Amino acid sequence: MILRPFEYVESQTVDDAVAALRGGGDDARVIAGGTALVPLMKHAVLRPARLVSIARVPGLADIAPATSGGLRIGGVATHWAVSHATLVRERSPLLAYACARVASPTVRSMGTLGGNLCYGESASDPAPALLALRATVRLHGPGGARTVPITEFFTGFYETALQEAEVLTSLDVPAMPAGARWRYLKWTPRAQEDKALVGLAAMLVLDGHRCRVARLAVGGVGASPVVLARAEQALEGQELDEATIARAADAAAGEVEPMDDLQGSAEYRRDMLRVWVRRVVAGLAEGRAS
């Protein structure tokens, strides 16, 4: 399909981008990799009159250590860059692995981490990992800079906390605790390049066989990626025996609001989440990581 004409603005700074977005109003969109936006434009789902590129803004693709021991990852960093960065693999292997599971090699080399999050896709692969890691999103808009915990960033079906004329500039990702066990499971009914029916991120810190810290999040099941808070509570402070893990799996299945679509019914998604929480947590308890 042929794209309808639009104005293309290449920003040199974040403030340039914010000004261009503000001037374009509802007809302006940010573009970086374009892997989500351009297909929507081709199918006339979106018809922006102005595209504001942030691809060449200095610093937005950086991946750097944070003083806290974690990471600061620029919003324009590609999935390929995040998944291959030695720093990410050392400090946050869960995120590196999740980014390596995004779609196809072509999409991973072009698509950006910030764009993926701002799209608000329920079946995003990086989102559950970032939720489990309790990352923080940095935004910049007409009112200046602000931070939003990623646990508050996804607000509904393809909706986020991003406000008018705001740009996602970076993410702060805490380092994973020493000895943490983790897994990102992407389950699809067909090819691995498909969107996840269940995308489960899990990180556990154990004292012997007792769970000291549990972090679980899932994408693909409901309208947006979510933390499995009740499942976390069912695990923390408990011996990870069969009964405890089963309670956590039931808690996870009970706290989501699954959706129906062509990939699977709501009840099928709920049942599969229960199955995979049980298998993933049991595997981590036995020392089987990613």
pLDDT tens digits for 105-161?
Answer: 999 999 999 999 999 999 999 999 999 999 999 999 999 999 999 999 999 999 999
pLDDT tens digits for 158-209?
Answer: 999 999 999 999 999 999 999 999 999 999 988 878 899 999 999 999 999 9
User: By the 8 A CB rule, do 28 and 20 touch?
Assistant: yes
Asked if pLDDT for residue 289 goes beyond 80, the answer is: no
Is residue 281 helix, strand or coil?
helix
Cα distances from 194 to residues 44, 187, 188, 189, 198, in angstroms, run 22, 9, 7, 8, 11
Domains of the chain: 7-53 (3.30.43.10), 63-173 (3.30.465.10), 181-285 (3.30.390.50)
Spatial CB neighbours of 24, under 8 Å, sequence gap ≥ 6 = 7, 48, 49, 50, 52
Burial class (CB in 10 A: 0-12, 13-18, 19+), 247: middle
* Residue 162 in tokens: 């991003």
Percent of all residues in the chain with a pLDDT value above 90, rounded to a whole number: 93
User: By the 8 A CB rule, do 79 and 126 touch?
Assistant: yes
Which of 122, 186, 198, 189 lies closest to 160 in space, CA to CA? Answer: 122
Long-range contacts of 145-152 (CB under 8 A, 24+ apart): 145/169, 147/172, 150/117, 151/227
